[in-house]
C-alpha cells in the first residue's frame, strides 16, 4: 500500500480530533432523539490497494431506514426464526439498494484466466427488520433479519458501470468482461445479533460491539462472529456505520446530538464460508470458478465524525485471501455518509 494513500483519512480524523470536546455524559440511556427517517450512502473501492482494479474492486450501497415502521411480511419471516427477539422499543425497517463489482488480478487478458477469480457483477435490493432486544446498565442488545433479492451476471450492469466510470476519468478498463459469470437470480436471508457496551473514561468513552451473523442463500452462505472496539465521545449515539455484506454489521441509524462527537474504531471478524458465488461460480450451470478458502478474516479500522444530523465515516478493510491461488490479501477503503431527517 502506498503510504500517502493510506494516510489520507488519518489527516481527516486528526483535524476533528483536536477540534472537539466531550461533556462526559458517557451513556445517558434511551434513544429519545431517534429520528423517523435516515438515509445513507456507502462507497467501497480498492483505491488503497497496491495495484489497480482487482478482487472486490467496488461497491455502492444506498440505504433508507424508517424507525417506527413495520412490514408485516418481515414480521412473518421473523416469526419463523426463534432467535429473533424484540422488546418492542426501537422497531424499524431498513431498505438497501446496492451494486458490487469483482475482477481478477489480471485485468489485461481478454481470455479466461483459470487460476484467478471470475469477473462478476451483483445488483441487489434488500429489506431488513431491526429491533432492540434489551438494555441493561451500559449494554444494549439488538438484532435484525434481512431478505435480499438481486441478480448476478451481465444484467447487474457491472461492466457498463466500471467501463463508463473509467472512460470518464480517462483510465483503461479491464478487458476480460466477456468471461463474467452468467445471469442468475440471487436470493438470501440473514440474521444478525449485536451487543454494544459503552463505558466512560474521563472525558471520553470506550467500548466494544461484539456480533454474530448467519447468511443463507445462493450468493453467500456463511456464519460469522467478530468484535469492534471504539474510543471517542458519545459512543451511545450509534452502533457503527454500515458496511456492504459480507462485513461488520452497522446501521444508518444514529442519534443526533447538539454537540459534535467522534470516535476511532478497529475490529476483526472471522467467517466460515460454505458458499460464495463470486468464487464458486454459477449455481445451476457450468461457469468459471476457483477453489475458495473456507475461512476468511476481516480487519477494519477507521474514524467516525457526527455533527448534528450528519454522520461521516472513513475506514480501511484488510481481508485475508479468499481463494487458494489468490496472490495478496484484499484491501479496500470505504466512505459512508448518513443523514437523519
* Predicted confidence (pLDDT) per residue in 32-89, tens digit: 678 999 999 999 998 766 556 889 999 999 999 999 888 888 888 888 888 898 876 6
* 47, 289, 297 from 329: Cα distances, Å: 14, 18, 10
- The CATH architecture assigned to 3-340 reads Beta Barrel (2.40)
Backbone angles phi, psi at 19, to 5 degrees: -110, 5
Q: Are 130 and 96 in contact (CB under 8 A)?
A: no
pTM to 2 decimal places = 0.88
* 30, 44, 107, 112, 233 from 57: Cα distances, Å: 39, 8, 11, 18, 33
pLDDT computed for residue 34 by the predictor: 85
Q: Which residues contact 72 (CB under 8 A, 6 or more apart)?
A: none
| Average model confidence (pLDDT) across the chain | 88
Alpha helix positions (H), the chain: 3-6, 8-17, 72-79, 158-169, 277-280
Share of residues in the chain with pLDDT > 70 (%): 88
Q: How many CA atoms lie within 13 A of 335 on its CB side?
A: 11
Backbone angles phi, psi at 321, to 5 degrees: -60, 130
pLDDT computed for residue 28 by the predictor: 37
Q: Which residues pair with 306 in a beta bridge?
A: 261, 311
Q: What gap in Å lies between CA 196 and CA 192, rounded to an integer?
A: 13
Here the cell at position 246 is: 459480507
Q: What gap in Å lies between CA 92 and CA 111, rounded to an integer?
A: 47
| Per-domain boundaries in the chain | 3-340
* Local structure of residue 173 (DSSP, 8 states): P
Residue 34 CA from chain centroid, whole number = 22
Supply angle C-alpha 195, 201, 205, rounded to 5: 45
Mean pLDDT, residues 131-159 taken together: 93
Q: What gap in Å lies between CA 149 and CA 98, rounded to an integer?
A: 11
pLDDT level of residue 13 (50, 70, 90 thresholds): very low
- The pLDDT tens digits of the residues spanning 184-227 come to 999 999 999 999 999 999 999 999 999 999 999 999 999 999 99
Q: What gap in Å lies between CA 59 and CA 44, rounded to an integer?
A: 5
Residue 280 region by backbone torsions, left for phi larger than 0, else alpha for psi between -120 and 50, else beta? alpha
Q: What gap in Å lies between CA 284 and CA 163, rounded to an integer?
A: 28
pLDDT computed for residue 32 by the predictor: 60
For the ranges 1-5, 157-161, 321-325, the lowest mean pLDDT is seen at: 1-5
Amino acid at each position: 500500500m502506498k503510504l500517502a494513500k493510506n494516510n489520507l483519512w488519518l489527516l481527516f480524523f486528526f483535524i476533528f480530533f483536536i477540534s472537539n470536546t466531550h461533556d462526559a455524559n458517557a451513556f445517558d440511556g434511551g434513544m429519545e432523539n431517534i429520528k423517523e427517517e435516515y438515509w445513507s450512502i456507502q462507497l467501497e473501492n480498492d483505491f488503497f490497494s497496491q495495484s489497480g482494479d482487482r478482487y472486490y474492486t467496488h461497491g455502492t450501497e444506498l440505504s433508507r431506514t424508517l424507525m417506527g415502521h413495520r412490514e408485516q411480511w418481515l414480521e412473518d419471516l421473523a416469526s419463523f426464526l426463534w432467535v429473533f427477539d424484540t422488546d418492542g422499543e426501537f422497531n424499524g425497517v431498513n431498505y438497501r439498494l446496492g451494486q458490487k463489482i469483482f475482477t481478477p488480478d489480471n485485468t489485461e487478458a481478454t481470455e479466461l484466466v483459470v487460476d484467478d477469480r471470475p469477473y462478476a457483477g451483483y445488483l441487489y435490493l434488500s429489506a431488513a427488520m431491526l429491533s432492540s432486544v434489551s438494555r441493561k446498565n451500559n449494554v444494549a442488545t439488538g438484532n435484525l433479519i434481512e431478505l435480499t433479492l438481486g441478480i448476478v451476471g451481465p444484467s447487474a450492469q457491472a461492466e457498463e458501470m466500471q467501463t463508463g466510470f473509467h472512460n470518464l476519468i480517462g483510465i483503461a478498463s479491464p478487458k476480460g468482461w466477456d468471461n463474467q459469470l452468467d445471469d442468475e437470480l440471487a436470493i438470501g436471508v440473514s440474521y444478525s445479533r449485536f451487543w454494544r457496551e459503552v463505558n466512560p473514561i474521563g472525558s471520553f468513552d470506550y467500548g466494544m460491539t461484539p456480533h454474530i451473523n448467519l447468511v443463507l442463500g445462493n450468493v453467500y452462505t456463511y456464519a460469522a462472529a467478530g468484535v469492534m472496539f471504539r474510543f471517542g465521545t458519545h459512543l451511545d449515539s450509534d452502533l457503527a456505520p454500515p458496511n456492504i455484506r459480507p462485513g461488520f454489521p452497522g446501521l444508518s441509524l444514529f442519534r443526533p446530538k447538539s454537540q459534535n462527537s467522534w470516535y476511532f474504531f478497529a475490529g476483526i471478524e472471522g467467517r466460515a464460508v460454505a458458499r460464495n458465488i463470486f468464487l464458486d461460480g454459477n449455481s445451476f450451470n457450468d461457469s468459471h470458478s476457483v477453489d475458495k478458502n473456507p475461512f476468511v478474516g476481516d480487519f477494519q479500522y477507521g474514524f467516525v465524525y457526527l455533527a448534528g444530523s450528519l454522520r461521516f465515516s472513513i475506514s480501511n478493510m484488510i481481508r485475508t485471501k479468499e481463494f487458494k491461488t489468490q496472490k495478496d490479501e484484499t484491501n479496500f477503503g470505504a466512505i459512508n455518509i448518513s443523514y437523519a431527517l
